[in-house]
Amino acid sequence: MDKCSTCQYNPQILDRLKNQLPDEDVTDKLSEMFKVFGDSTRIRILWTLFDKELCVYDIANALGMSQSAISHQLKTLKQARLIKSRRDGKNAFYSIDDDHVKKIIEQMFIHIEEN
């Protein structure tokens, strides 16, 4: 690797940085998770589920979308373990999987509002 002409090479700092970096498997998983968050419909679905449990019909109604379109996005969110479902007879009710999901979106929202 070529050295930068304006920077000082500091092996201690570079070694520490290399040791602190998460391994590639972890960064790949993080990247995939951010891809799931990279869809505005999925963000809107998560937003509707912040403090309540809803069925597909209610989510579709709230977002003005078809139930099949919502079901497709719910599947992606569930596979990413961002939401969970509970069956009650023939109906499935969806909710946020845990508080971390809500916190991630809230923090992103705060970041956007501050800029």
pLDDT in tens, 12-60: 888 888 888 889 999 999 999 999 999 999 999 999 999 999 999 999 9
Band of residue 2 on the pLDDT scale cut at 50, 70, 90:
low
Q: What does DSSP assign to residue 38?
A: T
Sheet containing 54-55: which strands, arranged edge to edge? 54-55, 91-96, 83-88
Neighbours of 37 (CB within 10 A): 17
Residue 1: pLDDT over 60? no
8 Å CB contact between 46 and 77: yes
Strands (E), 34-81: 54-55
CA distances from 51 to 8, 18, 85, 97, 114 (A): 51, 40, 14, 11, 24
For residue 37, how many C-alpha atoms fall within 13 Å in the half-sphere facing its CB? 16
> Would you give the distance in Å from CA 68 to the centre of its chain?
21
Average pLDDT over residues 89-101: 94
